[in-house]
Amino acid sequence: MELGTLTLPKSDWRKLAAVLESRLAGQESLFTEDATIVEAADAAMKHYHFVQTKSQEKQQRHEQRDLVTIDLQSIATSEYRSLGPELVAHTFWEHLGFNQILQNCGLSTEQQALAQAVIIGRLVAPSSDLASWNWLRNQTALLELLPVDLSNIRKDAVYEIADILLAHKDKIEKALRDQEALLFPSQTTLFLYDLTNTYFEGQCKNNALAKRGNSKEQRTERPLVTLALVVDQRGFPIFSRIYGGNQSEPQTLPEILKHLYVPEEPQLFSQERPTIVMDRGIATKETIQLLKSVGYPYLIVERRAVEKEYVQEFEQAKTTFEPIGHEIASGTVYVKKLLWENGSRVLCLSVGREQKEQAMDALKEERFLQDLGRLQASVTKGNIQLVEKVGERVGRLKERYPSTASHYDIVLQLDDAQKKVTTVTYDKKESRVKRQTLTGCYVIETSHQDLAAADIWRLYTTLTKIEEAFRSLKTDLGMRPVYHQQKSRTEGHLFISVLAYHLLICIEKTLAEQDDHRQWSTVCKALSTYQRSTIILTDDQDQIHHVRISSTPESAHQEIYRLLNVKDPLKRKHTVIAKRL
């Protein structure tokens, strides 16, 4: 036996030999109670089994060898295709039971394969549907993982499968929720609800969803489309809905609640209704009253500036409120809980938000006063003096700096004829002082009375999960821009991105459970060098061999595959295709 490194004293070697002989014979040894000998025997047997395994593998390789004499000058490679990210996505496609879900919706095997190609394409190489079609044909080995040959896939088939998936949207989303609940068990307590929008390329004159509105990406020159999304506290999608770009955010809540709670159907939650968490954009008095009327617990920051009602409390926040600081990178947050009607309110002062808002306010105020100073100088020099003209300039200043100008009184001093302005003066209102006091302040309202202020604040901060979802949809999953000129195709495009997000969140959560917090974009980049290619060889009989093979995984690939339990199912393919003349 090859024992490897042996640390046992030479006087015990005979005893060790007896133990090893007994183990190899499958018998008990007289020396098994000697801990040092047992330890040495365990190490020796481990090394022995390792050597035996390698020896057997070597023998098996020799038995399976297919030897030919090759002209080294003939070796070439071709048909390089990306495989690493596709392997991960394909593995999680199977984990989520996508094929079974689609089969239950009536999709054929070919349609299931096409859906997998399009959805994984959106995850791995997000782009327009036309670009995805080119990617499938020319850049990825994903088609080799599918049960159906899609090498001659039609361009229109990419659009058509999106229409088919959209027709089964509610059923697919519910089935995915159920499967994710099995894969990642958790007691669902929070549903986070928000809306985002993205812009179109083109005029979209015949697209009923393409509407002008307030762009969250500052693309007001483009028509928009809106995506409403509900996720749980971990970021898993619960429900999505698509609206026109000019959709009023608060008006969407009744429809969303209708889908979340249907008395005649099994619920999304087993014991009690989850708490609905929303940000300022949706939380009007009317939506809060709606949540109360239908019995949903809620946790919101209201659209109106409720903090103005608590100026005195906020003046003493840093000395009288409870500080939360050890878990926040951007600075301490001070919180105080007050009972309110049938729930409670939590007054919050965020130091990080305070510093950010103060910097923004200071910059706006500086620019406002500079422009106002220029107007004063022009009036003094006589360049502009007519009341109407000066009034127009003041009006434009107020339009350009509405939040700052509201805190100033601008006074025009007129001549005796009341036709010309002689001087322009301004005074700072008391409201400016109040604004400085309330910088970084906000009020969380909730129906919960039994939770502590810090716990309510932490629940509210889970809204970052839906912000992360929107960021992934727009940045990693090709949701923007939208090129489609038809309503149904626009809905299909957005729904494909939502389905791809189901794969993304499952991949990232699986990594996070093993203390690896890399995002999908980082994983995708690391795996981009794992590829599938064809090696071309010519033997001594002038036969041309094509060997289709996956690359050998590097250490970075192996680590990701280990964490995600991913294996490459593609085998080596050897074909003799011709004989060289």
Look at the pTM and tell me if it is higher than 0.75.
Answer: yes
pLDDT digits (tens, 9 = 90+) for 219-241: 777 888 999 999 998 999 998 99
Q: Which helix (H) or strand (E) holds 509?
A: helix 487-513
DSSP state of 539: B
Please indicate whether residue 434 or residue 181 has the higher confidence score (pLDDT). 181
Q: Give the model's pLDDT for residue 444.
A: 94
Name the band, by pLDDT with cuts 50, 70 and 90, for residue 514.
very high
Q: Which parts of 52-116 are beta strand (E)?
A: 76-82
Given a cut of 80, whether residue 562 has pLDDT beyond it is yes
Query: Hey, is 31 helix, strand or coil?
Result: coil
Question: Which amino acid is residue 504, in one-letter code?
Answer: L
Q: In sequence order, what are the residues at sequence separation of 6 or more whose Cβ sits closer than 8 angstroms to the Cβ of residue 566?
A: 87, 88, 91, 560
Name the band, by pLDDT with cuts 50, 70 and 90, for residue 30.
low
Given a cut of 90, whether residue 108 has pLDDT beyond it is yes
Q: Give the model's pLDDT for residue 31.
A: 60
Nearest residue to 235 (alpha-carbon basis) of 59, 463, 412, 513: 463
pLDDT digits (tens, 9 = 90+) for 269-305: 445 678 899 888 888 888 888 888 888 899 999 888 8
Q: In sequence order, what are the residues at sequence separation of 6 or more whose Cβ sits closer than 8 angstroms to the Cβ of residue 177?
A: 236, 237, 238, 268
Given a cut of 70, whether residue 185 has pLDDT beyond it is yes
241-255 burial, b at 16+ Cβ within 10 Å, e below that, comes to: bbbbbebebbebbee
Percent above pLDDT 70 for the chain = 95
Supply the DSSP string of 198-265, one letter for each residue: EEBSS--TT-TT-B----TTS-TTS-EEEEEEEEETTS-EEEEEEEETT--SGGGHHHHHHHH--TTS
Q: How many CB atoms lie within 10 A of CB 517?
A: 9
Least confident of 29-38, 384-393, 522-531, 563-572: 29-38
Query: Hey, is 302 helix, strand or coil?
Result: coil
CB-CB contact of 299 with 275 (8 Å)? yes
Nearest residue to 347 (alpha-carbon basis) of 318, 379, 327, 374: 318
**Cα separation values, 122 from 31, 95, 125, Å:** 63, 18, 6
Alpha helix stretches (DSSP H) within 126-211: 129-138, 155-167, 169-183
Q: Give the model's pLDDT for residue 129.
A: 81
pLDDT digits (tens, 9 = 90+) for 295-346: 889 999 988 889 989 999 999 999 999 999 766 666 789 999 999 888 999 9
**Beta bridge mates, 324:** 333
CB-CB contact of 541 with 579 (8 Å)? yes
What is the 3 state secondary structure string of 251-294?
A: HHHHHHHHHHCCCCCCCCCCCCCCEEEECCCCCCHHHHHHHHHC
Q: Which parts of 296-332 are beta strand (E)?
A: 298-301, 322-324
Name the band, by pLDDT with cuts 50, 70 and 90, for residue 18.
confident
d(CA 510, CA 564): 7
**Beta bridge mates, 548:** 534, 573
Alpha helix stretches (DSSP H) within 514-542: 520-527
* Averaged pLDDT, 541-551: 94
Q: Give the angle 90-112-565 at the CA atoms, nearest 5°.
A: 15
The residue count of the chain comes to: 581
Given a cut of 60, whether residue 65 has pLDDT beyond it is yes
CB-CB contact of 137 with 151 (8 Å)? yes
Given a cut of 80, whether residue 4 has pLDDT beyond it is no
Please indicate whether residue 331 or residue 549 has the higher confidence score (pLDDT). 549
Given a cut of 70, whether residue 32 has pLDDT beyond it is no
Residue 195 token pair: 């809306």
pLDDT digits (tens, 9 = 90+) for 477-506: 888 888 887 888 899 999 999 999 999 999
Query: Hey, is 122 helix, strand or coil?
Result: helix
Ramachandran angles phi, psi of 184, nearest 5° = -130, 75
Nearest residue to 569 (alpha-carbon basis) of 532, 535, 534: 532
Given a cut of 90, whether residue 453 has pLDDT beyond it is yes
Residue 95 token pair: 């984990």
Q: Give the model's pLDDT for residue 571.
A: 93
Q: Give the model's pLDDT for residue 329.
A: 60
Name the band, by pLDDT with cuts 50, 70 and 90, for residue 177.
very high
Given a cut of 60, whether residue 255 has pLDDT beyond it is yes
Supply the DSSP string of 457-493, one letter for each residue: HHHHHTTHHHHHHHHHHHHTS--SSB---SHHHHHHH
Question: Which amino acid is residue 51, in one-letter code?
Answer: V
Q: Give the model's pLDDT for residue 270.
A: 46
Residue 167 token pair: 């027709």
The sign of the torsion formed by the CA atoms of 106, 109, 114, 120 equals: positive
Please give the mean pLDDT across all residues of the chain.
88
d(CA 332, CA 327): 9
Cα torsion 212, 216, 219, 220 to 10°: value is 40
CB-CB contact of 502 with 96 (8 Å)? yes
Q: Give the model's pLDDT for residue 271.
A: 52
Q: How many CB atoms lie within 10 A of CB 29?
A: 19
d(CA 87, CA 567): 8
**Beta bridge mates, 412:** 424
* Averaged pLDDT, 246-254: 86
Given a cut of 70, whether residue 83 has pLDDT beyond it is yes
Q: Give the model's pLDDT for residue 406.
A: 87
- Whether residue 126 is preceded by a cis peptide bond, meaning omega within 30 degrees of 0, is no
CB-CB contact of 384 with 374 (8 Å)? no
